[in-house]
Amino acid sequence: MGRINITDGRAIGYVESGDGDATPVVFLHGVGSDKSVWRPQLDHFGKQRRALAFDYPGYGDSDPAPQGTTRDDYAEAILAAMTALGIERAHVCGLSLGGVVAIAMHHAAPGRISSLVLADTFAKHPGGQGIYQRSVAGSADMRALAEARVDVLIANPLVRDDVVETMARIDPAAYRIGAEAVWLANQADRAREIRVPTLITCGTEDKVTPPALSAQLMTLIPGARFPVIGRAGHLSNLEQPETFNALVANFIKSVEETA
């Protein structure tokens, strides 16, 4: 794990695995986690190429996020961190808030995105205002919020303790910023702009961003693919890592073979 300074002097936390000349893959976490959630993917993809997971401003090993930070600020911070690490283009994989940030990154710099993987996410959540309000109301005690939310988030009890511990570590102020960035997002117009190869996936038992929202997102993005992941809730990459990794690896392979 490390930190990289970006253009405004702030540092962004990141973890990296692998090397080589293949296009790197960048992983973006959800509102209730940090870069550590991607360890199963870093271990897998790092055998083939550079694989990196970043913390947003305020999360993990990143410097605090100023009040008023937005999803677009998150996107610009990740793009700046990529630049600082010598990455011009990448396959970008985001889950939940990470998917929202990935769409914002494509909007800001489409030429830097080789492909998108949008997992357990959406363009606009019909219940977003209510989820945001509940998130903010419970954020004073992140461990209590994690304990209250975990059984809604996951379908695989084996990851329960890890999910609670990761969420409990989040700074409450950063969590509130992240909650606004994800649950109040409306990026339907931005999704319609996407012209890079896109894989959309979702856990079949996701109660937070159910498969219907992924299906809606698919209708906005020309040519998008939409396989689901069985026996997974909202954290499909953690709950069913082998299936998740295989889907993403096969997708990236197909993108690079046709490039």
Provide, rounded to the nearest whole percent, the portion of the chain with pLDDT above 90: 98
Residue 9 has a pLDDT of 87
Q: Residue 45 belongs to what domain range?
A: 2-258
CB 203 within 8 A of CB 120: yes
- Reported as a single tens digit per residue, the pLDDT across 130-175 is 999 999 999 999 999 999 999 999 999 999 999 999 999 999 999 9
pLDDT at 7: 83
Domains of the chain: total: 1
Query: How far is CA 46 from each of CA 118, 135, 250, rounded to the nearest angstrom?
Result: 20, 34, 15
| Structure confidence by residue, pLDDT tens digits, 178-205 | 999 999 999 999 999 999 999 999 999 9
CATH of residue 120 = 3.40.50.1820
pLDDT at 259: 85
Q: Are 191 and 241 in contact (CB under 8 A)?
A: no
Pairing of strands 198-203, 228-229: parallel
- The answer to whether residues 153 and 233 touch, using CB atoms and an 8 Å cutoff, is yes
pLDDT at 1: 75
Q: What are phi and psi of 7, to 5 degrees?
A: -60, -30
Residues facing 229 on adjacent strands: 203
